[in-house]
Chains A and B, each alone.
Chain A
Amino acid sequence: MADNTNKHEHREHEPGHEHEHEHIGIPGYLGVFGILVVGTILTYYVSLIDLDWIFAGANTLVALLIAFTKMTFVVLYFMHVRWMPRLIWLTALAGFFWLAIMFAFTMQDYLTRSIIGR
């Protein structure tokens, strides 16, 4: 952002030329919407199929993979992160990074508790 500020420091302000609105347009928005709807319907029907023969919890993994895909589309296109400066990318990723730390550090405790007593 600092770079951006310096670049425009002494620029004359011209009407109608202030800020490029970056988005994917109405067909793009409808396309993302279509992906989200398909993802939801897919989540619903996959949950009925028993995937435990692959490994226990495979159903949840598939459901979460679909959810992550849906989230990625919402964040990139509906929330315009794709066209945002790196600082916003960093902010968003930092949120998920800390979340991952919280999950990992909590579970390395809980998942190993039954082992210790043996």
Chain B
Amino acid sequence: MADTHGHDHHYHPPGLQHQFEDMGQQQESASIGMWMFLVQEIMFFGGLFTVYLVFRSRYPMAFAAASNHLDALWGGLNTLVLIVSSLTMALAVFYAQKGNRNLQVLMIALTMIFGTVFLGVKVVEYTDKYNHGLVPVNGWNKRIKDDGHGSAKEPASKSAPIQDQNKLDPNAQEKTSLNAPNPNKDGHGNPRGEFQISRDDLKLVELARQGNFLTEAEKIGYFSNNEPDIEKFRDKMRIFFWIYFTMTGLHALHMIIGLGIMAWLLWKAWRGTFSAEYYAPVEISGLYWHFVDIVWIFLFPLLYLLGRHFMHGGGGGH
């Protein structure tokens, strides 16, 4: 090892590792390494986008109806927040290249703040889904007593089969012709924290039937006895929410890891590690941050904006 350092008689940039010829080559190698990682990230998210593609092509109306339960304003706001964070990240790299420690630290800190705002909005959105019975796992939603009828009575026996319980509750039979405990949220609570949809969601099925643009899978998947079946439709909407939580959840995980990287970067930048000659960690952390931004650029329209044009000028909502 000592021998390889024998050439310190001429100038040697402080950040240059001995296996590289010069800083340019070192920087390039770091970038290529990071891009190789990003390509595997493309494939990682690509698998999920493929799942999305398969199910959306089969059940476009269920996806549109489910998408209308997401709040496009929150999603759009988060898109803007991430874009601002991408700008501050790009500027952090810019100031690192300039060797400007203070502005570099400021830009990394701003990137972290906007990243945190993004995650905060995500928490608000997830909480909203939890409160409205839209988490696709039964029992994982907020339990709301059935007090719409003034009869907040618990089911007679928690272990009783679902069919029996329904017979015990006359109101349930009255409100809906379907024989499930909580087929929809119209006038019902959600005592068991189930995944629930509303009868209004079926409007899109009717629209597609009248317009004659149901897919083959939809003609089988939404109907019983030639009538729209809220139970069957709910299960197709459930697929959307599985995809929504998986994709946005993994994206949020990437954001959290990104914040960890930024915290490390902030510490290094604070100590003045980076200079015009050595800034590769800032550059490749930036590549990661921008990649996560790009994933969201696609997630936003593909998850939030599917059914809005069917609502004829209406906003998002529940």
Interfacial residues, chain A to chain B (CB-CB below 8 A): 1, 4-5, 8-9, 11-16, 18-19, 21, 23, 25-26, 29-30, 32-33, 36-37, 40-41, 43-44, 47-52, 56-57, 59-60, 63-64, 66-67, 70-71, 74-75, 77-80, 84-85, 87-88, 91-92, 94-96, 98-99, 102-103, 106-107, 110-111, 114
B23 interface residue per 8 A CB criterion: yes
Find the residue from B11, B46, B60 having the highest chain A CB count within 10 A.
B46
Contact residue among B27, B90, B277, B301 (Cβ-Cβ distance under 8 Å from A64): B301
**CA A44 to CA B77, docked complex, whole Å:** 10
Contact pattern, B 296-318, Cβ under 8 Å of A = 1, otherwise 0: 01101110011011111100000
Q: How far is the CA of A14 from the CA of B46 in the complex (A)?
A: 44
Are the C-beta atoms of B50 and A40 separated by less than 8 Å? no
Min CB gap A91→B, angstroms: 4
**Interface class of chain B by DSSP:** helix
Query: Distance in Å from the Cβ of B205 to the closest Cβ of chain A?
Result: 15
Tell me, rounded to whole Å, the shortest Cβ–Cβ distance linking B267 to chain A: 23
Tell which of A4, A19, A111 touches B23, judged by Cβ atoms closer than 8 Å: A19
| B154 adjacent to chain A (CB < 8 Å) | no
A36 to B87, CA, bound (A): 10
Contact, CB under 8 Å: A12 / B36: no
Chain A residues with CB below 8 A from B170, complex form: none
* Interface class of chain A by DSSP: helix
B13 to chain A, nearest CB (A): 6
Bound Cα distance A28, B310 (Å): 38
Task: Please state if A50 and B24 are interface contacts (CB–CB under 8 Å).
Answer: no
Within 8 A of A (CB), among B45-103: 46-47, 49-50, 53-54, 57-58, 60, 72, 76, 79-80, 83-84, 86-87, 89-91, 93-94, 97
> Could you say which residues of chain A place their CB within 8 Å of the CB of B47?
102
Bound Cα distance from A73 to B312, whole angstroms:
32
User: Measured between alpha carbons, how far is A4 from B20 in the docked complex, in Å?
Assistant: 12
Binds A, one of B115-123, B188-196, B286-294: B286-294
Task: Determine the chain A residues whose CB is within 8 A of the CB of B84 once the complex forms.
Answer: 33
Contact assessment for B290 and A8 in the assembled complex, using a CB-CB cutoff below 8 Å: no
Nearest A residue (CB) for B33:
A91
Chain B residues within 8 Å of A, Cβ to Cβ: 10-13, 21-25, 27-29, 31-32, 35-36, 38-39, 42-43, 46-47, 49-50, 53-54, 57-58, 60, 72, 76, 79-80, 83-84, 86-87, 89-91, 93-94, 97, 213, 215-217, 276-277, 283, 286-287, 290-291, 293-294, 297-298, 300-302, 305-306, 308-313
Partner among B21, B83, B91, B308 whose Cβ is within 8 Å of the Cβ of A48:
B308
Chain B residues with CB below 8 A from A25, complex form: 94
Q: Which of A16, A50, A60, A99 contacts B312 (CB 8 A)?
A: A50
CB distance from B82 to the nearest CB of A (A): 9
Nearest chain-B residue to A50 (Cβ)? Answer: B309
Closest A residue by C-beta to B283? A80
Going nearest first, the 4 A-B pairs with the smallest beta carbon separation are: A63-B301, A47-B305, A95-B39, A114-B216
Minimal beta-carbon separation of A63 from chain B (angstroms) = 4
Residues on A with beta carbons closer than 8 Å to the beta carbon of B22: 8, 11, 13, 18-19
